[in-house]
Amino acid sequence: MNKTVLLAGAAIIGLSLFGGPATAQTAPSGGTAAKPAQTDAGQKPPAMTDAEKLEYKGMLKDASTMMGHVGIANIALLHDLTDEAKDNVQKALTIARALEIKTDKLNADAIKVGRIKFHTSSGDTHDYWLPIENDSFIVSDMDMGYMLSKNPKMAVADAQMVNTKVTLDVKQVRDSLEKAATAISIKNYGDAQVALFGAVQSTFTDETVSNLPLVTVHDNLVLARELAKTKDYDGATFALNHAKDALTEYQKTATGDKATQSKKLQAEISALQAEIAKDRGSIVANLEKHLSAWLHDVEALMP
């Protein structure tokens, strides 16, 4: 039986692989995904039952969690945290093996991912993706502030929320994770990184930034808050920069009270960034509180 689940085409339900909007063409049934229904031109395939929707949503959540662990494992290896990498690879592999029983492929459009860019003293750059669902990292197991202090040769170069299409070949990801697990077990961390990059590079594709300024502001405030939770204050600062840039774009068309409010918010963000740069210890305790309040302010500006 064809176990492929496609999330593109005729709209049936509004589910998303990692929290963003998506549509579906097929439904899982009896533990596997049904073959797409044969329909006449212009005819919509049958809607999912409530039970099928629930099972389908569970598969999407599992896939999101799996790729979150892949992202964390990648970042851990970059910072020589091999125990954390091993743990997250094993968690991802467990999910991949269970997911492969249910489906071969999962495709989705317009999902939200925190893209974190690191650079090294040698000039290399590395991008990592952490899926966001319900305005939170789907997986957040590591203290990035600790990592950066352990390995000062690595530094965050950028952090931004992006929308990206996903083409997830479950078998390929499972195979890559098995190779990574084997490489880690013999302390061949270079090969482990190559295997994990193989799992990611074919999965996240066609990256874009929202063309709606307030959505961009909101998304990057979410990312800043999530990075602050992991003590990655440098990353949070970069995300705040993107939020301020989007506020500048919004102000090109905003008028009246909304224009005034957006400028006030922009100034508050800049003031907080200055405090973080000057003395993190005095502001960290209230950082999440500030970011949550600003998210509420941005929502108030939205139509």
Q: Distance between CA 29 and CA 13 in Å, rounded?
A: 16
pLDDT digits (tens, 9 = 90+) for 136-148: 999 987 777 777 7
Quote the pLDDT of residue 50: 84
CB 108 within 8 A of CB 20: yes
The single-letter code of the amino acid at 50 is: D
Average pLDDT, whole number, for the chain?
81
pLDDT 10s digits, 203-216: 877 777 888 999 99
Tokens of 61: 């959540």
Distance CA 290, CA 47 (A): 43
User: How many Å is the Cα radius of gyration of the chain?
Assistant: 21
Q: Give the length of the chain.
A: 303
**CA nearest to 88, candidates 52, 121, 128, 124:** 128
Model pTM greater than 0.85? no
Distance separating alpha carbons of residues 258 and 264, to the nearest angstrom: 10
Residue type, 118: F
Burial of 208 (0-12, 13-18, 19+ CB in 10 A): exposed
The Cβ of residue 219 has, within 10 Å, a number of other Cβ atoms equal to 27
**Pairwise CA distance, residues 299 & 303, whole Å:** 9
Q: Which residue ranges of the chain lie beneath pLDDT 70? A: 1-46, 280-285
Those residues with Cβ within 8 angstroms of residue 278's Cβ, 6 or more apart along the chain or in another chain? none
Interacting residues of 240 by C-beta distance below 8 A, sequence separation 6+: 220, 221, 224, 269, 272, 273
Q: What is the pLDDT of residues 245-298, one digit of tens each?
A: 999 999 999 999 999 999 999 999 999 888 888 776 666 667 888 898 999 999
Instruction: Say what the pLDDT of residue 280 is.
Output: 66
Plot region of 179 (φ>0 → left; ψ -120 to 50 → alpha; else → beta): alpha
State the Cα–Cα distance between residues 59 and 70, nearest whole angstrom.
17
The pLDDT assigned to 282 comes to 62
The confidence score (pLDDT) of residue 265 equals 96
pLDDT at 13: 32
| β-pair partners for 166 | 108, 204
